[in-house]
A and B are shown apart, each in its own frame.
Chain A
Amino acid sequence: MWKTLGKAVAPILRESLILTPENVLQQQLRTTYILKRRNSPFLNKNGSLPKRLKAKHYIYDLVEDTNVNREPDMNVILTTYVAGLGDVGDKVAVRPNYAYNKLLMTGQAVYASPENVEKFKDYQSNIEEKTYSSATSQRAVDCLSRVTLSIIMNKETPWVLKPWHVKASFRKCGYWVPEETIVLPTNPITGPNLELENKEFFVTITVNNMEKVNVRCKIHHWTTEVVDRLPHEKDFWKKKLDPVFSEDAAILAELTPNKGLNADQ
């Protein structure tokens, strides 16, 4: 191909370097069946007609099937925030199919060509206010907004709900939430109070000092006395509950409903 390229576009080659293939194709591109003759064809004489190929010259061996080779990762520059990947101007290395189908064709990214690299070089440093704190922050927010947190409290000893209770309950669910990021409802929640069993409220979590997310919570009373324990409630997150504080009803209704929550329940 490059042999004939010179002939086809000779006039520009002298003017500009844009048509030179070296800066574009760093590696050889062979993504197909590469075949080889088992029997080499007859030698042709100079200036005479080429000799006819015989059936044996059509016996091919497969040298390489490049369709089964793993392609290297591809560099793209994001033009929008992509959750779990990066913010605008970030150069990310992703799998080629994902990059082409999900990022480039949807316009969420551009090729990491020298021109684009230059264009997005100082993009992040020039932004005055960031919309997202990190690549995965939005994913964390989405994750937390789907949770219904069961806060396990004592059934016998009196208590007032504190952030460390919430932190411990989060830890039981597999979320590491620092205490200072938890904001409880302004009115204190005290117990033991068995009426709270069928009611819900929300706490506000701040991710990376930036994104705020409300998490649906429910108090569950527990005791060491086996006979006094409340019966096990199956799939408690699927039940629709009343708010502890009636002024929170609107915010609780807006929260992402749980998976499997039926409207009629």
Chain B
Amino acid sequence: MASKALKHLRRFTKSTPLERGLGPMLPEGYKKFYNEWKYSEPAAVNYVPENQKWIRNEVTNEVLPVQDVPLPLKYPKEYDEQLWGGEAVVQGFQKRDMFLRRNPHFWVPPLQRSVVYSEVLNKHISVIVTRRAIQLINANYGFDHYLLKTPACDLKSLLPLGLKRKVLQELHKGCPSYADTPDKQQEIFSRYKTYLSAYTEEEIEWYGYSLKDAIKKYEDQIKAATKVTPLKTIYRAELIEKLKTAKIDEANSEGLEVAGSTWMQKMNPFGKKQET
């Protein structure tokens, strides 16, 4: 143990985004989503993972250790507005001949514009997809099942994650988009309600936001909760109170209350009359 501790002594462990800045302040629901999104192991799509520890050379019968080192993947900016079904861009080299220098190459999945239909939201959505995404939707018998069954690390992109939040919110409210047809509403809800048990209300509310958006949402919530009254308003109220206790007649007069309501005051955007 001691040797292991020594080995790790000089290593600087970088703090995660949830440990610095406003990260620790975020609700537990978001932290759970973030860990599922960023720190879970996604499915191997662009390569065949090494599952075994050892491999035997078929010619020499030599046993050699192997380790699973995933290919480094790239996610372009557009990735967050599209539905790639777990695929990514692979940057690497092609070596086309023994006597040729390696050539840089990007393996980009073919993209096409298509439509996905969400039964819960009762909406057709036009998105750019890969063939794999459509196949996954078909294999899961529908876009909603695909979203709800797939963990965040595989959906990866912000578009399906945001849609998943909307679907979960809709389910949590009991499918209000089918309010006109109660039979249909009941059928849809009973089809998807199983998925709801994996999430609490807070988790649904905070699902699928990027860290930046989550922090903004958190800040907005804090801002909305704390209503700031300008000090001048407080002091003014205090002064009027004092004058009243001192039994000064002007404190009760009309002029003091409506002092600011001239036409100039209305023009001035900062001159909004505060409740005293």
Contacts and interface: CB of A to CB of B under 8 A. Distances in A.
A34 interface: yes
B177 to A, nearest CB: 16
B124 A33 contact: no
Question: For this complex, into which size category does the number of interface residues on chain B fall?
Answer: 35 or more
A127 interface: no
Contacts of A12: 194-195, 197-198
B134 interface: yes
Interface string B38-56: 0011110111100000000
Given A8-B151, A12-B198, A32 B141 contact: no
A15 B197 CA distance: 9
B259 to A, nearest CB: 62
B198 A33 contact: no
B198 A11 contact: yes
B230 interface: no
B198 A1 contact: no
A25 B139 contact: yes
A4 interface: yes
Interface stretch (B67-75, B167-175, B238-246): B67-75
Interface string A106-134: 00000101011000000000000000000
A4 to B, nearest CB: 4
Nearest to B152: A8
Nearest to B119: A110
B100 to A, nearest CB: 12
A113 B36 contact: no
B36 A8 contact: yes
A63 B117 contact: no
Interface stretch (A54-62, A135-143, A167-175, A229-237): A54-62
A54 to B, nearest CB: 11
SS class, residues of chain B in contact with chain A:
mixed
Contacts of A44: 67, 69
A197 interface: no
A29 B136 contact: yes
Interface string A40-77: 11011001111001010011100100010001001000
A37 interface: yes
A33 B41 CA distance: 20
A19 B131 CA distance: 23
A4 B153 contact: yes
A171 B160 CA distance: 57
Question: For this complex, into which size category does the number of interface residues on chain A fall?
Answer: 35 or more
A18 B132 contact: no
A227 interface: no
Nearest to B117: A105
A93 B124 CA distance: 24
Contacts of A59: 92-95, 102
B210 interface: no
Given A33-B46, A37-B71, A44-B67, A115 B191 contact: yes
A30 interface: yes
Contacts of B261: none
A194 interface: no
Nearest to A50: B69
Nearest to A21: B149
B140 A53 contact: no
Interface string B132-161: 101110111110010001111110000000
B20 interface: no
A105 B115 contact: yes
26 contacts: A1-B151, A8-B36, A9-B151, A11-B197, A12-B194, A18-B195, A24-B139, A31-B131, A31-B132, A33-B90, A34-B48, A36-B47, A47-B7, A53-B72, A58-B92, A59-B92, A60-B71, A60-B94, A60-B107, A63-B48, A67-B131, A71-B135, A96-B134, A101-B114, A105-B115, A105-B124
Interface of B: 4, 7-8, 11, 36, 40-43, 45-48, 65-67, 69, 71-72, 85-87, 90-95, 102, 105, 107, 109-110, 114-115, 117, 124, 130-132, 134-136, 138-142, 145, 149-154, 191, 194-195, 197-198
Given A24-B141, A58-B72, A58-B93, 4 more contacts: A29-B132, A38-B95, A47-B8, A71-B135
Interface of A: 1-5, 7-9, 11-12, 15-16, 18-19, 21, 24-25, 29-38, 40-41, 43-44, 47-50, 53, 55, 58-60, 63, 67, 71, 74, 96, 99-101, 104-105, 111, 113, 115-116
